[in-house]
Amino acid sequence: MVCSAVILAAGKGVRMRSHIPKVIHRVAGVPMIKHVVNAVSQAGIDKITLVVGQQSELIKDIFAGQEINYAVQAEQLGTGHALLQASSQVEHDDMVLVVAGDTPLLQAKTLQQLIAHHRNTQAVATVLSTIIDEPYGYGRIVREESGQLARIVEEKDASPEEKRIFEINSGMYCLQVKEAFAALQKLGASNAQGEYYLTDILEIIKNNGQKVEVFLTEARDDIYGINNREQLARAEKIMRQRKNFELMMAGVTIIDPETTFIDSEVKIGMDTIIYPFTIIEGQSIIGESCLIGPSSYLNDSLVGDHVIIENSRIKEAEIGDECNIGPFAYLRPGAVLHRGVKVGDFVEIKKSIIGSGSKVPHLSYVGDAELGNDVNVGAGTITCNYDGKNKWITILEDGVFIGSNTNLVAPVRIGKNAVTGAGSTITRDVPADSLAVERASQKHIEDYSRKKERT
């Protein structure tokens, strides 16, 4: 039986009050719609059609390079109308799984159970439901006395009695394509919102004498639908708990999961310890046996094994094995640290390569620089890389020793094993193995304190 999936994602998401489509708002760093697509493909379905509306290019960008079909719903006339737009994509399939794009907590297991139930019961339509304490806002599952589904009623159309039903519609369905699309043709829009409700096809199918099933799941979080920012924050919290749990089960110590925020796609190796108040975002990959935090913020960075990062900001940087960063370091985009590099307190590094074993321990700015191996940069050293118009490069060859408080006025190259005297402003290249000193010789004005008293 050929099964494909349609994900409804054309809605404006008015309740989000946003300039961008609802389904691209992020949960744990990943757009909601991507979470949903991931769950569907992990459930074993590889033919996926997204129904998109306005600003669809923003959605297409997320899946660039991925094999996804798109159907366009130009006008948002309701969920039933949305599914109808995908008819040419699914008409040759036997069965279609329909899910909403605004349920980011959805997991493959729940979808697989829904599909299995649909197949085992040989239903024409199966809706996934659950029972929750606060059903407000959801469509309610109205059952007949026999327990069979009677219909689904939306919050806005529900009678006071129906509003007291706690079994809700997840917005996810398994449908036999032929029968479902025949039913979609018969949908009307005479309801409180004047929309073509997908939910109404269940009643139509049932009235045709065809089998409609309700599959009740206990995975409440999975079907949590995001309509506003408060719900977005709740989903965020649950997603982060899941991520932390997954990492802990895989051998990562998280001292305080409550104050640790790790995006869904981040990877962390075994025996790494994450201290509180740490945020790790984007596509970051952290190796094994690292100590990260407290109070560190990393995004889209690569970190090797046995690395220590304390109280630091790391942005789009690469850190080799056995590096020691912080406290209070700032690694900016393009900072590449090879093995065993030390970057200490109040050091900023931008777009620079730092060779193995090199040290920038205190109060420095290193930008557009190339440091060889075993270079030592004294406290307070600055690469003067910007002349107001252009950025220039500083090169420190292997074994260079930069005295404290040196200004390296780029472009400039310091040869192998050369030394600069503390406080020098170096504007010309320094030959290998030499000492470069640039400062006035020290003067002493005798009796200075007594002279001062007299004036």
Which partner from the list ligand UD1, Ca ion, none does 372 bind, CB cut-off 5 to 8 Å by kind?
none
397 binds Ca ion (CB under 5 A): no
Q: Quick check: is 118 catalytic?
A: no
Task: Give the one entry of ligand UD1, Ca ion, none that residue 169 binds, where binding means its C-beta sits below a cut-off of 5 to 8 angstroms depending on kind.
Answer: ligand UD1
If the CB atoms of residues 168 and 360 are measured against ligand UD1, the closer one turns out to be 168
User: In degrees to the nearest 10, what's the CA dihedral of 88, 91, 97, 103?
Assistant: 10
> Which CB atom, from 171 or from 372, has the smaller least distance to ligand UD1?
171
Residue 59, token pair as written in the block: 């959605």
The binder of 341, among Ca ion, ligand UD1, none, by C-beta within 5 to 8 A per type, is none
Question: Under a CB-based contact definition with an 8 Å cutoff, are residues 48 and 140 in contact?
Answer: no
Q: How large is the angle between the packed helices 108-121 and 32-42, nearest 10 degrees? A: 50
Q: What CA–CA distance (Å, rounded) separates 97 from 101?
A: 13
Site string for Ca ion, 217-236 (x = CB under 5 A): --------x-x---------
Minimum CB separation of residue 153 from ligand UD1 in Å reads 8
Q: Closest-CB residue for ligand UD1?
A: 139
String of contacts with Ca ion for each residue 91-130, x by CB under 5 A:
-----------x----------------------------
The one of Ca ion, ligand UD1, none whose footprint includes residue 8, by CB under 5 to 8 A per kind, is ligand UD1
Q: Which listed option, Ca ion, ligand UD1, none, makes contact with residue 324 (CB within 5 to 8 Å by class)?
A: none
Strand 278-281, strand 253-254: pairing: unpaired
Strand 324-325, strand 342-345: pairing: parallel
In whole angstroms, what is the distance from residue 380 CA to residue 377 CA? 9
Do β-strands 125-131 and 167-176 pair in parallel, antiparallel, or remain unpaired?
antiparallel
Counting beta carbons within 10 angstroms of the beta carbon of residue 242, is it exposed (0 to 12), middle (13 to 18) or buried (19 or more)?
Answer: middle
As measured in angstroms, the least distance from the Cβ of 35 to Ca ion is: 14
Measured from the CB atom, is 169 or 260 closer to Ca ion?
Answer: 169
Residue 183: φ, ψ to 5° = -70, -35
| Tokens at 170, concatenated | 């997840």
Least distance to ligand UD1 from the beta carbon of 156, Å?
Answer: 9
Of 186, 217, 183, which Cα lies nearest the Cα of 202?
183
- Rounded to 5°, the CA angle 450-454-455 comes to 120
The answer to whether residues 92 and 69 touch, using CB atoms and an 8 Å cutoff, is: no
21 binds Ca ion (CB under 5 A): no
If one asks whether residue 78 binds Ca ion (CB under 5 A), the answer comes out as no
11 binds, options ligand UD1, Ca ion, none, Cβ within 5 to 8 A by partner type: ligand UD1
The residue (of 25 and 313) whose beta carbon lies closer to Ca ion is 25
To ligand UD1, the closest distance from the beta carbon of 220 in angstroms equals 12
Single out the catalytic residue among 19, 92, 306, 362.
Answer: 362
How many residues contact Ca ion, by CB under 5 A?
Answer: 3
Return d(Cα 337, Cα 287) in angstroms, integer: 14
Phi and psi dihedrals of 162, rounded to 5?
-65, -30
Q: Closest by alpha carbon to 299, among 265, 349, 273?
A: 265
- Applying CB under 6 A, which residues contact ligand UD1? 8-11, 23, 51, 73, 76-79, 81-82, 100-102, 138-139, 152, 154, 168-171, 197-199, 225, 227
Nearer to ligand UD1, 49 or 383 (CB): 49
Active site residues: 362
- Under the rule (CB under 5 A), what is the footprint of Ca ion? 102, 225, 227
